[in-house]
Amino acid sequence: MFDLPLDLSRTRILVTNDDGIHAQGLKVLEAIARELSDDVWVVAPEMEQSAASHSLTINRPLRLRKLDDRRFTVDGTPTDCVLLAVNHVMKESRPTLVLSGVNQGSNIGEDVTYSGTIAAAMEATLLNVPAIAMSQHYEQGQPIDWSAAAAHGADVVRKAVTVAWPKNVLLNVNFPSCPAAEVTGIRVVRHGKRKIGDELLERVDPRGKPYIWIGTLRGEADVADDTDIHVVFNGGISVTPVYLDLTHTPTLQTLRQAFV
Annotated binding site for a divalent metal cation: 18-19, 50, 103
Backbone φ and ψ for 137, nearest 5 degrees, come out as: -70, 150
Which residues contact residue 158 at a Cβ distance below 8 angstroms, ignoring those fewer than 6 apart?
Answer: 8, 36
Q: What burial class does residue 203 get, using C-beta atoms within 10 Å of its C-beta: 0-12 exposed, 13-18 middle, 19+ buried?
A: exposed
Residue numbers in the known binding site are 18-19, 50, 103
Distance (Å) of CA 143 to CA 22, 106, 214, 225, 232: 18, 14, 22, 27, 17
By C-alpha distance, which of 223, 252, 226, 221 is closest to 238?
226
Q: Do residues 81 and 74 touch, judged by C-beta distance below 8 A?
A: yes
Residue 165: which of 54, 246, 239 has the closest Cα? Answer: 239
DSSP 8-class letter at 181: G
Q: Is 206 helix (H, G, I), strand (E, B) or coil?
A: coil
- Are the C-beta atoms of 72 and 105 separated by less than 8 Å? no
Q: Report the candidate in 50, 58, 55, 60 with the shortest Cα–Cα distance to residue 117.
A: 50
What interhelical angle do 24-36 and 147-160 show, nearest 10? 40
Q: How far apart (Å, rounded) are the C-alpha atoms in residues 63 and 75?
A: 6
Closest to 16 measured CA to CA, from 7, 24, 8, 26: 26
